[in-house]
Amino acid sequence: MNRLLVSAATLAIGLCLFGAGCAKTVTAQQNAMASSGTGPAPAPVQPDMDANNFKVDHPEQFPLVAAAEYMAAPELNVTGVVQPDVSRQVPVPSLASGRVVEIAGRLGDEVQKGQLLFKVRSTDIAGAYSDYRKAIKNEQLAKIQLDRAKILLEDGAIPKSAFEVAQNAADNAVVDVETATEHLHLLGSDPGHPSGIVEVYAPTSGVITDQQITESSGVQALTPPNPFTISDLSHIWIVCDVYENNLGQVHVGEYADIHLAAYPNRVLRARINNILPMMDPNIRTAKVRLEVENPGLMRVGMFVTATFHGETAERRAQVPATAVLHLHDRDWVYTPLGQDHFRRQEVVAGDLLPNNMQEIKTGLQPGDRLVTNALVMQSTVEQ
């Protein structure tokens, strides 16, 4: 038994010595191959560097300036669409059913009250004129019967009740004539010279903002869709979408600045008239309606930018406009990290201020130092 244990221990020690010798031999071979250039060289590990941090050779070429303090009220910029005021829209229905034979107005035309818009050939005129002629004949007959009843009553041939019936029939006949005459006038026809053409005129002055008829199309009397809609665009609406978390900055009765995409140099002031009590469930916005007098520049469907101003001023930074670099749809400034090290820092720039200064909304505090000319620094970095 002891002899077996001794043999096993001797075998284990021999295997360990043999493995260690092989490992040393392999390591020595690898070192020899690396030194001779025939084997793989060990890869050096480089530390990860921030691309926005860099070093320059001559930092004295880039003067620094401290950001100044600027007090400004918070602003909320939202997009809006110009729409007509629905209270200033007047529909123009067809007064008779029939076929359109002439159109005197077109979509977008400016019309005056009483101006001819379109003509309709209708059989309603024939029916109305027939009722008018029957009413005239009935009135004549009722008058004759009334005169006869009056003579018979004076001679005592009929009771007074019979005369009263004849009087009532004559009065009803007069009402029927007046009703038939008004119907013809409503259709635009002269009772003395009836015609099968109905002419429709503009009930008010404005701009035609909707047209639903064409030549030879059919229309129904006083039935939507209306052939035309005339809008008074002297005062218009601007409807904006404001997100739920920004509704605290918008209040009914306040004013907002309106910037027109088509006329960037014109700024208008619009009053907040209504904030819709319902939210859009998809994008979580509320419709905010502004009213503004149209100076003649705004057209229906035009895009604008509405700027809502807060009540409390905030402390912000202002820097020279040359210190802000607009790159890849973002704004950047260069701030010093050391004697010759700088960092490119992202900011949110605001409005341009007098004396070639620019507001910085976020990313920089008053007193922070930065490079005066960001474009020169960027050119140096790219080289």
- Pick the more confident residue, 59 or 313: 59
Count CB atoms within 10 A of the CB of residue 198: 24
Query: Phi then psi for 373, rounded to 5 degrees?
Result: -115, 100
Q: What is the predicted pLDDT for the residue at 15? A: 54
- Maximum Cα–Cα distance for the chain, whole Å? 171
Asked whether the predicted pLDDT for residue 36 surpasses 60, the reply is: no
Stretch 365-376: mean pLDDT: 91
Nearest to 260 by CA among 228, 301, 205: 301
Q: What is the β-pairing status of strands 285-293 and 303-309?
A: unpaired
Query: What pLDDT does 313 receive?
Result: 77
All domains in the chain, ordered by first residue: 55-72+313-382 (2.40.420.20), 77-85+232-309 (2.40.30.170), 96-230 (no CATH)
Nearest CA among 18, 252, 218, 212 for reference residue 106:
212
pLDDT score for 45 = 41
The pair of structure tokens assigned to 189 is 């026809």
Q: What percent of the chain has pLDDT over 90?
A: 51
| pLDDT at res. 47 | 44
**Identity (one letter) of the amino acid at 216?**
S
pLDDT at 12: 53
The pLDDT, as a whole number, for residue 20 is: 46
Q: Read off the pLDDT of each residue in 223-228 and give the average, rounded to a whole number.
A: 92
70 is written with which tokens? 């600027």
Phi, psi angles (nearest 5°) of residue 34? -65, -40
CB distance 103 to 89 below 8 Å: no
Cα Rg of the chain (Å, integer): 45
Can you give the three-state secondary structure of 182-229, one letter per residue?
HHHHHCCCECCECCCEEEEECCCCEEEEEECCCCCCEECCCCCCCCEE
Mean pLDDT value of segment 324-345? 89
Look at strands 325-327 and 75-84 and give their pairing: unpaired
- CA atoms in the 13 A half-sphere facing the CB of 37: 0
Q: pLDDT grade, residue 195 (50/70/90)? A: confident
- One-character DSSP codes across 43-63: PPPPPP--TTEEE-S-GGGS-
| pLDDT tens track for 137-161 | 999 999 999 999 999 888 888 898 9
Mean pLDDT taken over the chain:
85
Question: Does residue 366 sit in helix, strand or coil?
Answer: coil
The gap between the terminal CA atoms of the chain, to the nearest Å, is 82
Summarised one tens digit per residue, pLDDT across range 234-280 is 999 999 999 998 888 899 999 999 999 888 889 999 999 999 999 99
Which range is least confidently modeled, 86-90, 193-197, 303-307? 193-197
Q: Is the pLDDT of residue 1 over 60?
A: no
pLDDT at 11 over 80: no
Q: What is the pLDDT of residue 203?
A: 93
